Amino acid sequence: MTSRSNMPARKVLPPILMIGFAVVYGGISLTYPLGTVLRPGPGMFPLLLSVALLGVAGVLLWIGDADEIIWSSAMLRPSILILGSIVAFGLSIETLGLVPAILAMSVLAMLGRVGARPREVVGLTAFLIVISVSIFVLGLGLQLDLMWR
Amino acid sequence: MSIFHDIAQGFSVATSFQNLALCFGGVTLGTIVGVLPGLPPITTIAILLPITFHLDPTSALIMLAGIYYGAQYGGSQTAILLNLPGTTSHAVTALEGYELSKRGLAGPAVVTATLASFAGGCIATLVVMTLAPALGGVALRFGPADFFSLIFLGLIAACSLTRGSFLKGLCMVVVGLLLGLTGVDVNSGQIRFSFGQPGLMDGINFIALAMGLFGVTEIIQRLAENGSDEGRVTSFRLRDMMPSASQFRDCVAPVLRGSAIGSILGIIPGAGPTVSSFVSYVTEKKFSKGRAKFGTGALEGVAGPEASNNAAAQTSFIPTLTLGLPGDVTMALMLGALMIHGISPGPQVMTEHPTLFWALVASMWIGNLMLLFLNLPLVGIWVKLLSVPYRYLYPAVLMFIAIGVYSLGNSGFDVILTAVFGLAGVIFVRFGFEPAPLLLGFILGPMMEENFRRALLMSHGDPIIFVTEPISASLLVVAALAIGGSILATYRRQGAADSNAFQPPIHTGEGDA
């Protein structure tokens, strides 16, 4: 079971994530010209926003966070494989073409679920290739290379 | 006055047999393409746009209206059924709609969305007909300071959407605003926050952001629960798809309020239509009868925002056509399409081309009506999607997302960006940050900065302009009250929270990270 203890880390991590984001974006903003109040430069508005975010996150840290982070090891496998399947599609679509991209994506995505059977993986992947080609390439006429040129 | 003559003429053009047939074709195609997951309204319209190129302007415009409604309708389906919002307003629809779906109430949610959006469209059409000439001027009265404050108010409203704390919503809004600034700054040519990636120089792709934060995140969450088939609908008879009489009655007031909010905000160019569904949602969360159910699936939370969104789409034609200022990206695309057909926006459009203006208003209304009759009987078919076991559904959804995102700009980078936002979404949700306010901030970020700069330029650098301009000042007062009230409420809740902490919907884990 997920622990419901009020470990301090559980309360401070969300505001700290935001503080980190604010510091990074505020720091980058400072590298752009700030301009004047009359004619604000590209750095002014993002800097103000970063300071605001820092303030809000600071208040959140101070009053404490009522929520609890619920993280479980069950998240790990789908996170890695689903995100991996999208990245695989993104990397292969331009160089290898649509069919290999879907092949890679579908297999990785199906493995993201505990208990996927090999027959299902093969069957669904074939099905997805057929419907995507018929809908997007034949039906809607999108310019997608099926295989590498 | 001759305005009634113009209206009648507009309707008679729109209702010719050929034009009705084109509208029907547009609605059907728009729905079929729009209901594919991963293809948001803007992509759907962009894909189908070329079909209208060889038609004459009026017919093209009528078919476009059909496509627009079909695409919007298809988009609300994927938002409700699969938590895949393709626009900011659909992100609001998904808040309650998807919760209803998970409880097996997808049918009533979809039907309510359809009916509410039709009602909103009708009311707004009446508003446009009676008040159009007077309303054209309202938008012109809005100065940069007023726009800034309106956006500010809209963002504050969005923070109150969150099921978690107001402060966390505020964090998400600011993160969204910052992400929205990615890319070339129009004033200085400075490239900001691109982290050296050429793919980020034109800004972050909205669809990659929305699909990642909502769609991908949801898939990972469901798989962590081992892909249970919750929300399986077993009966697809039309009768079981319909909301009950009492649910129907409960939605009347939200629809009316939503239509009023949408009609008014739609007139304000730029931020108005985008903000309207958020404002409507927050209003219903505070005032509707079913407010206790908000967050766990309330039909009122679907009805109000859908009515508001569609009403705003109608009234936003006034600034879109008279000022050339579209309300959102979808409208911007529609405007572009109209310009391809030789219709240039400007203050004269209503006086010099009255038939065209009213034919457009009429065809939008007819498109909406047609959708109602075409699609209510088909609701069962779309909902049947949920009877596909989840283990087969999610790889297909992922594939549609990937191809949809890729086809926007033929960019593999955008697909990878979707994965990045999917990861961010998982972290946000686990940490109790609701992603919907981020989307609104993202859309409004550049607009807010632009008006901030202009207001300061007008006041010679004196920030007091935001409180001396009457419209701006009153909007800021409302926003300040909302902030004060929400922080107070958070503080009170905090006291009672320890025993009753907010729980994201997952309880399967055994270890902790």
Stretch A4-28: mean pLDDT = 80
Q: Measuring CA to CA, which residue among B309, B321, B324 is closest to residue B266?
A: B309
Asked if A81 contacts B394 with a C-beta cutoff of 8 angstroms, the reply is: no
Query: pTM for the full model?
Result: 0.80
Report the alpha-carbon angle B76-B78-B82, nearest 5.
Answer: 130
> Using the beta-carbon criterion (under 8 Å), do B501 and A64 form an inter-chain contact?
no
Q: Is the pLDDT of residue A10 over 70?
A: no
Name the pLDDT band for A21 (thresholds 50, 70, 90): very high
> Using the beta-carbon criterion (under 8 Å), do B431 and A57 form an inter-chain contact?
no
Stretch B14-30: mean pLDDT = 84
Q: pLDDT > 70: what percent of chain B?
A: 85
> Using the beta-carbon criterion (under 8 Å), do B494 and A63 form an inter-chain contact?
yes
> What is the ipTM, given to two decimal places?
0.90
Q: B499 at the A interface (CB within 8 A)?
A: no
> Using the beta-carbon criterion (under 8 Å), do A132 and B399 form an inter-chain contact?
yes
Predicted pLDDT at B241 = 72
Q: A144 at the B interface (CB within 8 A)?
A: yes
| Gap between the Cα atoms of A33 and B70, Å rounded | 45
Residues shown for chain A: 149
Predicted pLDDT at A134 = 86
pLDDT tens digits, one per residue of A93-122: 988 989 999 999 999 999 988 888 889 899
Q: B418 at the A interface (CB within 8 A)?
A: yes
Range name among B196-205, B212-221, B282-291 with the lowest pLDDT average: B282-291
| Gap between the Cα atoms of B436 and B452, Å rounded | 23
Q: Which residue has the higher pLDDT, B420 or A61?
A: B420
Predicted pLDDT at A66 = 61
Nearest to A66 among B412, B422, B493 (CB): B493
Predicted pLDDT at A8 = 61
- Residue given tokens 């998240």 in the structure block: A75
Residue of B nearest to A73 (CA): B511
Q: Is the pLDDT of residue A1 over 60?
A: no
Interface A-B: count of C-beta contacts within 8 A: 251
> Using the beta-carbon criterion (under 8 Å), do B419 and A105 form an inter-chain contact?
no
Q: Are strands B191-192 and B183-184 parallel, antiparallel or unpaired?
A: antiparallel
Give the C-alpha distances (Å, rounded to integers) separating B390 from B23, B140, B218: 35, 50, 12
Bridge partners (DSSP) of residue B184 are B191
Predicted pLDDT at A139 = 76
In the predicted model, what is the mean pLDDT of chain A? 84
Predicted pLDDT at B27 = 87
Stretch B375-386: mean pLDDT = 75
Q: B134 at the A interface (CB within 8 A)?
A: no
> Using the beta-carbon criterion (under 8 Å), do B419 and A50 form an inter-chain contact?
no
> Using the beta-carbon criterion (under 8 Å), do A38 and B457 form an inter-chain contact?
yes
Residue B54 carries which side chain, given as an amino acid letter?
Answer: H
Stretch B3-10: mean pLDDT = 76
Q: Chain A contacts of B427, Cβ < 8 Å? A: 17
| Gap between the Cα atoms of B40 and B132, Å rounded | 30
Range name among A91-100, B229-238, B479-488 with the lowest pLDDT average: B229-238
Name the pLDDT band for B234 (thresholds 50, 70, 90): low
φ and ψ at residue B345, rounded to 5 degrees: -70, 155
| Gap between the Cα atoms of A8 and B178, Å rounded | 29
pLDDT tens digits, one per residue of B298-349: 888 899 999 998 888 888 877 777 766 676 767 777 777 777 777 777 666 6
Q: Which residue has the higher pLDDT, B102 or A140?
A: B102
Nearest to A70 among B219, B430, B491 (CB): B430
Q: Is the pLDDT of residue A79 over 80?
A: yes
How close is the nearest chain B Cα to the Cα of A5, in Å? 11
Nearest to A56 among B170, B226, B504 (CB): B170
Q: How many helices (H) and strands (E) does chain B have?
A: 24, 2
Name the pLDDT band for B137 (thresholds 50, 70, 90): low
Q: Is the pLDDT of residue B500 over 50?
A: no
How close is the nearest chain A Cα to the Cα of B78, in Å? 17
Q: Which residue has the higher pLDDT, B335 or B180?
A: B180
| Gap between the Cα atoms of A25 and A84, Å rounded | 27
Q: pLDDT > 90: what percent of chain B?
A: 10
Q: A99 at the B interface (CB within 8 A)?
A: no
Contact partners, residue B71, CB within 8 Å, separation at least 6: B30, B31, B33, B34, B41, B42, B44, B45, B48, B330
Q: Which residue has the higher pLDDT, B239 or B284?
A: B284
Q: Angle between the B436-458 and A44-63 helix axes, to the nearest 10 degrees?
A: 130
Residue of B nearest to A20 (CA): B175
Q: Count of CB atoms within 10 A of residue B351's CB?
A: 12
How close is the nearest chain B Cα to the Cα of A98, in Å? 9
> Using the beta-carbon criterion (under 8 Å), do B510 and A74 form an inter-chain contact?
yes
Range name among A31-35, B265-269, B468-472 with the lowest pLDDT average: B265-269
pLDDT tens digits, one per residue of B338-380: 777 777 776 666 667 777 777 777 877 888 888 888 777 777 7
Q: pLDDT > 90: what percent of chain A?
A: 44
Q: Is the pLDDT of residue A64 over 80?
A: no
pLDDT tens digits, one per residue of B395-432: 988 998 898 888 878 889 999 999 999 999 999 988 88
Q: Is the pLDDT of residue B104 over 70?
A: yes
Q: Chain A contacts of B395, Cβ < 8 Å? A: 105-106, 109-110, 124-125, 128
| Gap between the Cα atoms of B179 and B185, Å rounded | 13
Among B171, B184, B385, B394, pick the best mutation site for testing chain A contact (most A Cβ within 10 A).
B171
Q: Is the pLDDT of residue B513 over 50?
A: no
Q: Chain A contacts of B457, Cβ < 8 Å? A: 38-39
Stretch A36-49: mean pLDDT = 87
Name the pLDDT band for A27 (thresholds 50, 70, 90): very high
Q: Count of CB atoms within 10 A of residue B77's CB?
A: 29
Q: Is the pLDDT of residue A90 over 90?
A: yes
Q: Chain A contacts of B412, Cβ < 8 Å? A: 89-94
Q: Which residue has the higher pLDDT, A58 or B36?
A: A58
Q: Is the pLDDT of residue B279 over 80?
A: yes
| Gap between the Cα atoms of B487 and B167, Å rounded | 8
Name the pLDDT band for A82 (thresholds 50, 70, 90): very high
Asked if B75 contacts B87 with a C-beta cutoff of 8 angstroms, the reply is: yes
HSE-CB of A87 using CA atoms within 13 angstroms? 11
> Using the beta-carbon criterion (under 8 Å), do B164 and A67 form an inter-chain contact?
yes
Q: A97 at the B interface (CB within 8 A)?
A: no
